[in-house]
A and B are shown apart, each in its own frame.
Chain A
Amino acid sequence: MKRASLRNASWTLAAAALVSVTGLLVGCKKEVKELKIGYITEQTGAESYIAASSTPALEDRIAEINAAGGINGYKLKLVAYDTRSEVPDAVSVTKRMIDQDKCVAIIGPSWSAAGIPIAQIANTSKVPIVATTASNVNVTISEAGQLHPYMFRVCFIDPYQGYALADFAYKKMNAKKAAFLTDVSSPYTVGVHKFFESHFKELGGEILVNEGYNQGDTEFRAQLSKIKNAKPDLLVSAAYTYKDAGLIAQQMDALGLKVPFMGADGWYVDDLLTMAGPKLEGAVCTNGASTEAPEVQQFNKDFEAKHKVKPTIYTYYGLDALMLIEHGIKQATTKNPKIEAAALPTAIRDEIENATDVQLFSSKMTMEKDTHNPHNKPILIMQIKGSKWNLLETFDPAKQ
């Protein structure tokens, strides 16, 4: 009796196992396919505020999409890796995302020095990459003038910024003699300054001195003393990291160098104001999106309440890039629902290239097919007043 019940029990077990295995197999068939999206970001190091303020936003957005059933049956997954703001790390995480994780599209990087080598990886591995704030021209177009077919960006490019700043400085701030303090290790700063110089000279202005520094420097007084001696009407330093702008402003004050100070969108991080707000009174910079805009206030409040971090422009640019990739996935899988996994990255690329009036987080966007830059993205010219960002005017390239 005992033996029989044991045998019965084992049969029951075997049957249960069979049922569960079949169940698993059936489950596999029904399982929703998952697409991985890479995010090249800065989780540690001096720029770790970038990941801190953007990764949670991307994860929230992806959780929302997945909760609503995904895109045409595809669920999304974010794969974020740290670059430590080092180009070699950025290159190796990109390769890892493509070779090991098989990401169908990648968001980032946030800076041009990494964007330029990564564009090559995008081309050879045929995976679309959407840079967030890498604004040097050569990120999407090679030095030889060739378009990188798999590299895109959602920000405006340095010539726009340089041009807009020079225009504003000469016409509105009445500056005729400018001095530069250039981060010579940053293609971004060098690029903005180059285009500032060419438009500023075209208008009749002159550049008195061009002083340099290197990434990571904290001491600028030697250069600032020299600049003070040259007596310019304006100091331009389109620093990539807000740290430089804050330190330069502090040291200008310490040296008694009282001239208007101007930078570009690298400055636009709220921490700059807490760090050196009063020293930057009246300083001017540019931006593509504003954390002060009324339409993002609700988002900012919810985001800060949930994640205990203030959103930065990297939050908005990250979301813009993600939404552009979403658009690509949606179009590609709608047009061809049975698309093979291997063909997906290229199909997404084609859709991103043809994006027209797609609603992204910060604005509607049309991709320029010949440059892979957003078409006519307006530039906001901001001024720091009372330790707050203040919108001075919107510079619209379409109207120039």
Chain B
Amino acid sequence: MDLFIQQLINGVSIGAIYSLLAVGYALVYSVYNFTNWAFDGFMAFGAFMGFTAIASMSMPFWAAATVSMILTIVLSVGVEKLAYQPLRVRKAPRLFMMISAMGVNLAIVNTINKLYTGTLRRFPIPDSWTQTITIGQASIGQMDIVAAIIAFILLAILWIFLYKTKWGLGVRASSIDILTSSLMGINNNAVAFIIFATTGVLSSVAGVFFGIKYAVYPLMGGPVTIKAMIASIVGGLGSLPAAVVGSMILGVLETMVSGYISSSYRDLFAFAFLIVILLFFPNGLMGKETGEKL
């Protein structure tokens, strides 16, 4: 039983990181119908900016996290303006947007690699923050709890924003039909700004907490963003609560497979799970009808 609780805690703490990224995927997908593969780079960028602010400029953690968030918003919105918007304006096929995103990702990750080298770095937080709390036989890191709480607070704010404000209504209207909503007077550029700024915030927070939980290195985003992508598809692309549910299921499933079957089969199960879900629920567990998925 103790082992089960420990594995459940492990699973939820992984699921929290997945959910930040999965929500980002879902948000972009719901409005623009393409998968923003540049997340991996945004996340590494966010982590490196936070790292640099603390290590080189000796900022306190919360200031560094804010700096990282602002810079990642700038990057995310900049990428949208330079790489995605021109394609959208010219009505390029959505596949091209996805390929463009992959290119952006490679450019970001390789630039970071060139500037910082591939070395792993510990995210510089005080040692006292990394202590663990023991409940019975199960242990959990303080920062894991903080990360999970912040992830959920952030997602709650996002939910309130989308469902309780006028701007959120605009984003939701765009997600139903971007062309019609712009005819109704919704400012498309403002919607794009909101979406990519939110993406920047989510990936910066995910990057900083991933950096604290594991380490900061240029390729840090690779495996985890793919998992988040799976989580958002499993939940149902385009739906925010579904992305969170998908992330939790995937995080817990992975740890249970590693803990009770074999860790070598973990990814096999994760991907097989995706296939099975899509066979029975072609739009994901809670997804709306979206047609083609890229």
Contacts and interface: CB of A to CB of B under 8 A. Distances in A.
A171 to B, nearest CB: 30
B118 A47 contact: yes
Interface string A36-76: 00000000111111001000000000000000000000000
B110 A223 contact: no
Interface string B131-175: 010100001110010000000000000000000000000000000
Interface string A240-275: 001100110010011110000000000000010011
Interface stretch (A21-29, A141-149, A211-219, A361-369): A211-219
Q: What is the interface residue range for chain A against chain B?
A: 35 or more
Nearest to A278: B127
A221 interface: yes
Given A49-B118, A218-B224, A275-B120, A243 B217 contact: yes
A243 B214 CA distance: 9
Contact of B113 (A44, A212, A218, A246): A44
A246 B215 contact: yes
A226 interface: yes
A44 B10 contact: no
Given A49-B117, A217-B223, A275-B215, A254 B3 contact: no
Nearest to A247: B214
B289 interface: no
A216 B223 contact: yes
B258 interface: yes
Nearest to A225: B6
Interface stretch (B84-92, B185-193, B261-269, B275-283): B261-269
Nearest to B122: A275
A293 interface: no
A276 interface: yes
A255 B7 contact: no
B113 A221 contact: no
A167 to B, nearest CB: 28
Q: What is the interface residue range for chain B against chain A?
A: 35 or more
A100 interface: no
B222 to A, nearest CB: 7
A243 B219 CA distance: 12
A223 B256 CA distance: 10
Interface in A197-240: 211-214, 216-219, 221-223, 225-226, 229
Contacts of B2: 229
B10 A225 contact: yes
B139 A255 contact: yes
A362 B256 CA distance: 47
A32 interface: no
A242 B6 CA distance: 26
A135 B130 CA distance: 36
Contacts of B264: 184, 212-214
Given A226-B3, A256-B134, A278-B127, A46 B139 contact: no
B125 to A, nearest CB: 12
B104 to A, nearest CB: 17
B14 interface: yes
A253 B132 contact: yes
Contacts of A246: 120, 215
Contacts of B258: 222-223, 226
Of B10, B223, B255, most buried by chain A (CB within 10 Å of CB) is B10
Contact of B255 (A212, A221, A242): A221
B254 interface: yes
28 contacts: A45-B219, A46-B217, A52-B117, A184-B264, A218-B223, A219-B214, A221-B10, A222-B11, A222-B256, A222-B257, A222-B263, A223-B259, A243-B215, A246-B120, A246-B215, A247-B214, A247-B215, A250-B214, A253-B132, A254-B132, A255-B139, A256-B132, A256-B139, A274-B121, A274-B122, A275-B120, A275-B121, A276-B122
Which 10 A-B pairs rank lowest in CB-CB distance, beginning with the nearest? A222-B258, A48-B118, A222-B255, A212-B264, A254-B141, A221-B10, A222-B259, A256-B139, A218-B214, A225-B6
